[in-house]
Every structure is written in structure tokens, then in C-alpha cells.
Structure 1
């Protein structure tokens, strides 16, 4: 059985770091030794299933409507097919990554992901073909999610794991920023079929970095460094199995929190311009503020990642979630600058994935990390997929987004309570995290 988390300590103990200078030195050493790996997984996450088809789909809706006459709303439903496949296949990809090595699973999945794009580019009159293409994208590309890339990073970063995961998650953020700048012009010049083929070629790029920069998939370099620093090599690979994790309250608290956060926020994100105009912003101002959302997500990933390495992670996560709850509440009241609402939305959406990856590695270890995080990430995708549905239905029934904003604020408070209830890390699964709480690592 995995060790039971100890009782929650006082706030001063949670914020304590008994060896700040040595820890900063370890962080610098980890980044110096594994910086090429960080570059590889950041690019991979930006060109994987969690980013590339999601952020480019809106740019294909118009061209596909013009080519086949499909209703734009039906084209957008392909995103629901994709998220359903992530929910179903993510845990399986994680299980394979834990047993076969994340790099092998990613390499195979990248190839299948690119081939699925080629198939999608061949579609003709039936929208069922398009849905089938996104089904294949979800099936073949399941190993390109953050689940597998976070496994590689977590095996190489310990003292700087939070910052490393935050940097990795800037990959999808950059895709969200760059795709609208370049892809529409490419589609206009060459057509949507060639654009899909170009994206398929782009999706293969992580293979070069994975084989050129990532040597091995089990973090032997970081393990040996920790061994030289007095840590147990065995502790790096220890952890709970999925069967053990599901018997721990932390597993279900993480699933509840991540589902509620995405369920509360994604619907607002999708309808952001309408929400902002209803709550006091002009249409021109609301359009400008959409870029603030992307910027706040990028900045929050780095800032939150750094804080995870310095402070007790549930304290950081609960605080960020409560800030977003306050932002939704103020937005529902109206009369405030729209930028505050957008920033509150962005910091929570920007930190959710890397925060959950970080705490999963600390509470459950790395033994079955990808499989466990695969389930957490799956419920994250489920919350994201269902959020626009309830937001739209509520707005249609009541004629306003304000009620949804109040409800979102309440759901975020519940999510913050779930995060705050996680308790202390099990010391056996990470000596750096244990030391940050004022405890000593267990001897091997």
C-alpha cells in the first residue's frame, strides 16, 4: 500500500524550505542537464493532440462550410469527438508509457497522429468522414498528450519540476497564438486539403527532437544526480499503482477539482466575447481582450510553475482557483474592467494541467504516473467538453450569461476546497517535495 499522507501542518511549515540555496542550485543543475529535453517536450506538447487539432479546428470551420455546405455548428462538434477519445484513450496511452517507456509510445503515436491527418485531408461530401477523421486523431494521437510528455519531464526534474511542467505547457499556448496568425493565409493560398497535409508534416517534427535530444525514457541522468546528492535512486521510481491510487482520497479529490474547474471555465472561454459585451465591454474592446487571455495563460504557466517549486502546491492551486472564482463573481456583477475577468479566467486555465501533473507526481510517485495522470487528464477533457453545453443551454433558457458566471464561481470554490483538502505529500515519493514541507525524506 502507498504511504498515507501525513496530517496538514501549519501554514508556516508548509511555506518553509529548510535549504533554499542548495535547492536553487539543484534547480539550475537540472535545467542545465535537461534543457534539450525540455525543448523537445515543449514542442511536442504544442504539436500534439491536446493542442494542434483543437486550436486549428476553428480556422477550418469556414473553409469546410464553404466547400461542403456543412453547418458551422456541426463542424465544431468534431471537438467533442476528439475530447471523448482523449477521455477514453488517455489512460491506456499512460499505461503503455509506464510499461514500455514514454518515448516509445510517443514516437508511435506521433506517426499514427500524422497519418490520421492525412486521412482527414482526403474527406469528401459526408461530415461523417470528418468526424471519423477526428476519431482517428484521438485514437492514434492519444500518446501525444501531456500525459506522456509530463512523464518524461517528471523523471528528469525534481527540484525544478513545477517550473519545467509550466514551461512545457507554453507549447500549446504558443500554438494558440501562432495558428490564427499563419494558418488562415495558408488555407487561402493553398486550400484546406494542403493545409491539413502541412499540419501532418508539422506533427512529425517532435520525432526528430525526441530521438535527437531525449536519450532514454526513465530519467537515469537525474536519478544518478540525486543519488550523488544523497537521495535514494529507488525513491525516484517508487510510487502507487493505479489500483492503490484509486483507494487514496487524493486521487478522487484531484479528479473532482480538475473536472469542476474545466466544467466551470471552458464555456465562458468559448463564449468570451459575448460574456464581456453582456457585462459592460464594447465589442471592439471584447475582441481585443481575447489576446489578453492567451497572454495571461502563458505568463501564469511560468509563474505558477515557479511557485510550485517554492511553496506547497495545494496552497498555490487553491489560491489560483479562488482568484478565478472571484473574477467570475465580479464579472457577473458587471461594472469592472473586462481585463480583470479575462486574467482571472486565464490564470486558472493556464495552470490547471501542469498543476495537476505536478501534484499527481508528488502524491502518487512515478511508478504508474502516466496511467494515473491519464485518468485525471481524461476527466479534465470531459469537463472541458461538457462545459460549453451547459453554458449554452443556461444562456438560451435565461437569456443571460450572468447566472452561469455565478454558478461557475460557486463551482470553483468547491474545486478550491478539494485542492486544499489534499494534505501533505507522502515523503517516500519525492525528497524535494518532502523537504519543502519541512519534513525529511525517508531512507531507502
Structure 2
């Protein structure tokens, strides 16, 4: 903890920029939007299937757009890029306010997922990985704390606002928070950051003869394809588990309230594991940690698939939270370590798109397997085998590079 306190004291302006960017990005995360599902369906007269289809379509559209616009963070000053994404989030909230038709709702979902789930976290984590070298892991962990903080605060705020001003009125409040809070805060923090965030990173790289590689070189590197299954395994599997938790409740005979209470343990484990992983990344490097990062995921899947009893739920959720906490800083630091920081925004936007696509596929695949009659042992045992194979493949990728 002392390492973190010393680091925060030295670098608080840019760390605060990353934290608030990820915190405001929570407006586009599924855990937040889910609180509006019933209200939206009732107001617009949508079936659950149509509502889900609109949300999935908006998510997939945002993934494709991120690949096109995410690289602008390499060519624009950070202030301009962050302000543009913030304006996009404000527009998304305003469209949600005036959504009286399915098409309007689709546009709202698209912009929420693009700016909230995609570009604001992309902005924060690209900035952390780019401007911090020796402390990259800790920077990624601290900025990512905006997610668990949002998971605690924002659902309560949403419920309170819906009760006070209605679900539409609450989106007006969130839209107003961007120009009144988010934009002034990030400008304040960036003005006080010792790093040069006014010069576009590509120009900085040219001035320093940076040899950073871009998407083309990354996609031609066979080691990238060996690492990709491991990078995507955790978000793919965890999303499938959460979306299909009804299958788990039925198979394990758990009370929904019992599993819901275990989410507190998940959040705490997520946060603590992320802080620990940040220190480990700085000490060992992300490349060396890659083959081991899925150990808690494999253990979680084994416990869930082959053990029974009420005790399984908290153990499983703690292991799952540990997985997400560990994977974030390791994969976040990986691309900067291997390919440099000059074109990092372009690389990370491509990986964000891959991640979003994988999380769109897993609920459908899990649902098809469940409908086909797969057992809980078969489903999660198969996932564990997949995670093991991904860990074996990644052992032959970047960790084989000579470390500085």
C-alpha cells in the first residue's frame, strides 16, 4: 500500500483523469443500463426479445466503430479526444431521454456502449499505459478502480433519481453531469499533469525516433495470435456465466438472493486483486505473468462445475473477481510492453473491439449449449479446458521475448 500512496502523491493529476474517465464510462456499462430495462420496455411497449436485440445490435455496432475511431487518441491531443468522447456520452444520455421509438433507443444504446463502455475506458487505460513506464501496472489498477466504485454508487443513484424524476429525467441529470462535472474535472487534472498531453502521441514518437509498431505489424506477428485466446478468455467466459446465471441457480439449487449477496465478495476480490496485480506487473512485467493469470479462473470453473453446496457460491465469486482483477492490469500493460506506446491507441481500440465482440458471442453460445442439454459439469468443465489450453498457447508467445 505504501508503494501506491507514494505513487499517487507523485502522479495524482493523470491518475485522477483516468479514474474519473472510467467512472463516467460506467453509464454505458451493462450493470448500469440494466436498471432501466423494465422501465424502458414498459414505456416503449417492447418485448424482452426485441429489447435484448436492440441492446446487442448497439453493442456490436459500437465494437466496429471503436476500431475506426479509437486510433484518433494517437493523433489528437488528449484533451481534445477526451472532450469529444465526453460530448458523445452527453449526446447518448440526451437521446435516451427522448427515446420514444425502438430506432431512437437503438441509437442511444449504440452511443452509450461506444462512448461509455468503449471509448472512455479506452481513453483512460491507453493514457495510463502510455505515460507511465515503471509504474504502468499500478496506474492501470488505480484508474480501473472507477469500475468497482461505480458499481457501488451508481445503481443507488439511478434508483433514487428514477424515483424522484422518472427514468427519463435521470438521463437528463447524467447528461448534465458531463459539462458540469466531467469536462471541468479532466481539464483541471490534465493542466496539472507533468506529462505533455497537448502534443499528439504520434508527433512525440517521431520526435523521439520511437519504433512503436501498429496494427498491421501486430496482426502479422504470430505471437499475437497465440496470446489472443488468453486475452479474450476471461471476458468471454465471465460474461457468459453472468448472463446465464439462471442456469447456474437451477443446477445448484441456490437462492438468487444468496448469489446476489456474493457479488459483494466479487467486487472486493476484484479491487484487491487488481491492486496486487498492478504491483506484480511493475515488478515482473506483464509478459512473464501471462501464462499464470488464468489460474483463479480455472479454479473457479472447476469449483462451479464439480462441487456442490452453498459454500461454492462465495468461493466461486471470489475466484471470479480475482480473475477479472488480475487480468485487467496484465493485458492492459501487455501491448505497451511489446509494441511500444506511439500507436497504442490504435492497438488498444482493436483489442477493445475484439473484447466487445467476444462478450456478444458468449451469451449466445452458452445459451445454445444449455438449450441442447449440456450439463453444468460439461459446460464449465469445457470452459476450464479452454482456459488451460489458452494458458499453454500464451506460454509460447510474448514471454519468450527477451525482457529488458
Shorter-normalised TM range: 0.7 to 0.9
Q: Out of 16, 32, 41, which is 1:65 matched to?
A: 41
Q: Out of 112, 115, 123, which is 1:137 matched to?
A: 112
The runs of 5 or more residues in structure 1 that have no matched partner are: 1-23, 222-232, 428-433, 440-444
Provide the residue aligned with 1:319 in structure 2. Answer: 292
Cα distance, 1:193 vs structure 2: 0.6
**What CA distance in whole angstroms lies between the structure 1 residues aligned with 2:288 and 2:115?**
37
2:226 corresponds to 1:249: no
SS of the aligned residue for 1:172 comes to helix
**What CA distance in whole angstroms lies between the structure 2 residues aligned with 1:299 and 1:201?**
32
2:400 corresponds to 1:417: no
Quick check: 1:257–1:415 contact (8 Å CA) kept in 2? Answer: yes
SS of the aligned residue for 2:63 comes to helix
Provide the residue aligned with 1:405 in structure 2. Answer: 380
Quick check: 1:109–1:142 contact (8 Å CA) kept in 2? Answer: no
Cα distance, 1:158 vs structure 2: 1.2
Cα distance, 1:339 vs structure 2: 1.3
Provide the residue aligned with 2:73 in structure 1. Answer: 97
Provide the residue aligned with 1:213 in structure 2. Answer: 189
Moved more, 108-117 or 80-89: 80-89
SS of the aligned residue for 2:294 comes to helix
Moved more, 308-317 or 260-269: 308-317
Quick check: 1:166–1:305 contact (8 Å CA) kept in 2? Answer: yes
**What CA distance in whole angstroms lies between the structure 1 residues aligned with 2:9 and 2:334?**
24
**What CA distance in whole angstroms lies between the structure 2 residues aligned with 1:249 and 1:80?**
31
Give 1 or 2: higher helix fraction.
2
State how 1:176-195 maps to structure 2 within 5 Å.
176-195=151-170
Q: Out of 239, 243, 258, which is 1:270 matched to?
A: 243
Using a 3 Å threshold, how does the CA distance of structure 1 residues 186 and 402 change in structure 2: closer, same or farther?
A: farther
Cα distance, 1:216 vs structure 2: 9.0
Using a 3 Å threshold, how does the CA distance of structure 1 residues 217 and 393 change in structure 2: closer, same or farther?
A: farther
Provide the residue aligned with 1:389 in structure 2. Answer: 364
SS of the aligned residue for 2:107 comes to helix
TM-score (norm. length: structure 2)? 0.87
Provide the residue aligned with 2:86 in structure 1. Answer: 110
SS of the aligned residue for 2:308 comes to coil
State how 1:116-127 maps to structure 2 within 5 Å.
116-124=92-100, 126-127=101-102
Using a 3 Å threshold, how does the CA distance of structure 1 residues 61 and 40 change in structure 2: closer, same or farther?
A: same
Using a 3 Å threshold, how does the CA distance of structure 1 residues 117 and 254 change in structure 2: closer, same or farther?
A: farther
Provide the residue aligned with 1:228 in structure 2. Answer: none
**What CA distance in whole angstroms lies between the structure 2 residues aligned with 1:297 and 1:139?**
24
Quick check: 1:30–1:156 contact (8 Å CA) kept in 2? Answer: no
Using a 3 Å threshold, how does the CA distance of structure 1 residues 102 and 352 change in structure 2: closer, same or farther?
A: farther
**What CA distance in whole angstroms lies between the structure 2 residues aligned with 1:142 and 1:59?**
16
Quick check: 1:45–1:51 contact (8 Å CA) kept in 2? Answer: no
Cα distance, 1:399 vs structure 2: 6.4
Length, aligned pairs only: 391
Quick check: 1:113–1:140 contact (8 Å CA) kept in 2? Answer: yes
Quick check: 2:28–2:115 contact (8 Å CA) kept in 1? Answer: no
**What CA distance in whole angstroms lies between the structure 1 residues aligned with 2:299 and 2:268?**
20
1:54-81 CA-to-partner distances (Å, cap 9, x unmatched) read 3321100111223233223432344423
2:61 corresponds to 1:85: yes
Cα distance, 1:96 vs structure 2: 0.8
Provide the residue aligned with 1:371 in structure 2. Answer: 346
Cα distance, 1:345 vs structure 2: 1.6
CA RMSD of aligned residues (A): 2.8
Provide the residue aligned with 2:134 in structure 1. Answer: 159
1:362-390 CA-to-partner distances (Å, cap 9, x unmatched) read 00110100101111121111111111111
